[in-house]
Structure 1
């Protein structure tokens, strides 16, 4: 089994594209089989996520700062439909790195807000969250996903700054990949 699980929620497919870019970069750095094939949460179960000690989770931010889901205007099931499965689940001993997509121009006061929803949810479930990044180079007015002056995960704007995406992914992976691999390959991970 792969060492790092990659899961995402999406409707338009852009978050899926980013998840694939992340998986491809991990493969180029670490070889085949380190990162699992990215999976949409609308096809996943809580047990699928719990099978990994290291997780990369992605979400776009819909409208005025919400996770994707049918109640929030998506055509397909996404994070909102998946979240009830996580009730009562314990993610202690797992490291989670988050990535999120937003639109600084259309939603400058809600840029990548949904990152914070995942951050709180998995943090409350016991996961160790890693992978915050500086807000430098972004032009937004407010974001719930900023804590202590940094995003709680990798923030991307495919609308206005798509040309920076690959560079941002690589810099983020430089920081998070060693931490994810550390927990994924620890002896206790094999017995869990």
Structure 2
């Protein structure tokens, strides 16, 4: 049976709320919520698939809990694992580094051998630049709950459906 670990920052209220919505939409009791502040190497390695979420702080930085974990993430052996990333950002007030946190996590997980899945279109967003935008595609699900809260639920629903098509299943 495949297991899915959904890692999120419990100390960032909006990220935690989005993680819980993703778990609900997934509708799968085998999707475990794991606060990253308490995660260790074995938690990342015990799951077949990972969903990880972060906010982007200030001018494109990761919150402290993820930033401090990057060296450990890069040392893991995640070869053969799929990682899907969601990120929160504000495209109006921070248009030059919208959801940069997605890219920072993608780089670390790819370094550890994981495959990044759950790529999305930048259509419907308005921002100047983002490290998460590679070859015209976002490296994960971008959530702007500050200026587009009315689109959040639909974006989550579509993304979870996409992840299931890409093999994310605990069955």
TM-score above 0.5, yes or no: yes
Matched with 1:82 is 69
Is 1:42 paired with 2:63?
Answer: no
Output one character per residue of 1:3-43: Cα deviation in whole Å (capped at 9) or x when no partner.
1100013543100100000001111xxx4x2211x222111
Q: Which of 129, 138, 142 is equivalent to 1:151? A: 138
Corresponding residue number in structure 2 for 1:188? none
Tell me the CA shift for residue 49 of structure 1: 1.0
Secondary structure at the counterpart of residue 181 of structure 1: coil
Equivalent in the alignment of 2:14: 14
Contact 1:10 1:59 in 2 (8 A): no
Deviation at 1:81, TM superposition (A): 2.4
Q: Deviations over 1:145-175 (max 9, x none)?
A: 0011111000010100011000001111111
Q: Which residue of 2 aligns with 1:117?
A: 104
Distance 2:76 2:10 in 1: 23
- Give the whole-Å Cα distance in 2 for the aligned partners of 1:162 and 1:104: 12
When the two structures are aligned, how many residues end up with a matched partner? 171
Higher RCO structure (Cα 8 Å, ≥6 apart): 2
Which residue is equivalent to 2:149?
162
46, 54, 61: which one aligns with 1:51 = 46
Please report the TM-score for the alignment, with normalisation by the length of structure 1: 0.84
Segments of structure 1 that go 5 or more residues without pairing to the other structure are 70-77, 186-192
Separation in structure 2 between the aligned mates of residue 92 and residue 149 of structure 1, nearest angstrom: 26
TM-score under structure 2 length normalisation = 0.93
Asked which structure has the greater CA Rg, the reply is 1
C-alpha RMSD over aligned residues: 1.6
Superposed CA deviations along residues 69-93 of structure 1, whole A, max 9, x for unmatched, are 1xxxxxxxx1122223324211001
